[in-house]
Amino acid sequence: MRIEVEGVRKVFKSRLGQVVALGGVDLSIDQGEFVCFVGPSGCGKSTLCNMLAGFDTPSEGRITLDGQTIKGPSIERAMMFQEPALFPWLNARQNVAFGLNSLPELKNKPDEKHAIADRFLKMVHLAQFGGAQPHELSGGMRQRVALARALAVDPKVLLMDEPFAALDAQTRDHLHIELQTIWRETRKTIVFVTHNVREAVTLATRIVVFTARPGTIKAEFNLEELEFPRSGAASVVNETIARVQSALRDEVAKVEAREYDQPGAPTPVAGGRA
């Protein structure tokens, strides 16, 4: 499995004119990596994630997975969103089994689908909740069902667009631990978009920092050497966070300069949001 992003630009046309969201990105992602995209708001990191998923196409350049140009959405590249986006008419188990219906080898094998769904529910520690409707679950539980649903189709890469941003801090911490455990067990390739540097440092093997719009890659940090679990108490973790933040600081300032009235813009707090 190898994803190649070659010279990708993305231009959106709006009422106010053209907006260059991505201004030429080259990137490759290898099997088993946990890549975090970090950048100031509007830098195109979510746009790139959408293009990886196939919901959007590059204006220039191309994105390939194992040499094949990405043309549309596929279960090879299952995506998780900020919202769980569970199907409210299905229970948790049926939600997890949903993607399995797309697999030809499981056609007309309801028992096997059921078993697979249960296995992944168990992986996210929701084995007892297979029969629950989404509205009966808490926000964190729903997002875990969504994670199980995306993992169940065994995608080549799991795309996560700020999946924990809507959760409270405590639930988020637990989900970080959970996601980390799952990643270490499965070594699934994961692309994870976030604006939270601490989250990125906690999870990633590689962090890609984007510039302010038009987004390009400003810096990359290789975190493979950093041991899991990465507790916030460890000094090396905090140092890494500081390094990534310093790379990000100018970019956040640029966005703020652009989006606030001048002068009198609030001076960015060191490190921006983290």
Partner 1 sequence: MESIKSMPLRPQNNSVPNSLEATTSPSTTPQVTAPQAIAPQAIAPHTIADVPDSADTSDALKHDKSSRQSGADARSSEASAVGASAVGTATRPITAGQANTESGTTKKVIAEKAAARRAFWSDVAIRAAFVAFLVLLWHTAHYVLVTRTQSWSGALFPAPSQVGRWLWDGFGLSYFTGNYDKVPGHELPQSFLEAIMQKDYVRSIGASIYRLVWGYAIAVVIGFPLGLLVARFSLAEKTIGWLSLSLQSLPSICWIPLALLWFGRFGAAPILFVTVMGALFATVVSVADGIRNVPPLLARAGRTLGADGVRLYSSVLLPAALPGIVTGLKIGWSFAWRSLMAAELIVNAGGLGFLLQRDREFGDAEGVLATILVIIVIGLGVQALVFAPTERRLQNLWGLSGVRS
Name the one range near partner 1 by CB under 8 A: 30-38, 149-157, 185-193, 208-216.
149-157
Q: Binding of partner 1 at residue 149 (CB under 8 A)?
A: yes
Q: Binding of partner 1 at residue 62 (CB under 8 A)?
A: no
φ, ψ of residue 201 in degrees (nearest 5): -70, -30
Q: Binding of partner 1 at residue 232 (CB under 8 A)?
A: no
Q: Binding of partner 1 at residue 145 (CB under 8 A)?
A: no
Which segments of the chain are extended strands (E)?
Answer: 2-14, 17-30, 34-38, 60-65, 68-69, 79-80, 157-161, 189-194, 206-210, 217-222
Q: Binding of partner 1 at residue 273 (CB under 8 A)?
A: no
Residue 72 has, within 13 A of its CA and on its CB side, a CA count of: 0
- The residue (of 7 and 88) whose beta carbon lies closer to partner 1 is 88
Q: Binding of partner 1 at residue 163 (CB under 8 A)?
A: no
Q: Which of 15, 147, 127, 25 is nearest to 82 (CA)?
A: 147
Q: Binding of partner 1 at residue 75 (CB under 8 A)?
A: yes
One of 62, 125, 243, 273 touching partner 1 (CB under 8 A): 125
Q: Binding of partner 1 at residue 103 (CB under 8 A)?
A: yes
Q: Of how many residues is the chain composed?
A: 274
Tell me the residue type at 196: N
* Distance between first and last Cα of the chain: 32
Residues within the interface to partner 1 (CB under 8 A): 53-55, 72-75, 77-79, 81, 83, 85-89, 98-99, 101-103, 125, 127-129, 131-141, 144, 149-150, 153, 159, 170-171, 174-175, 177-178, 181
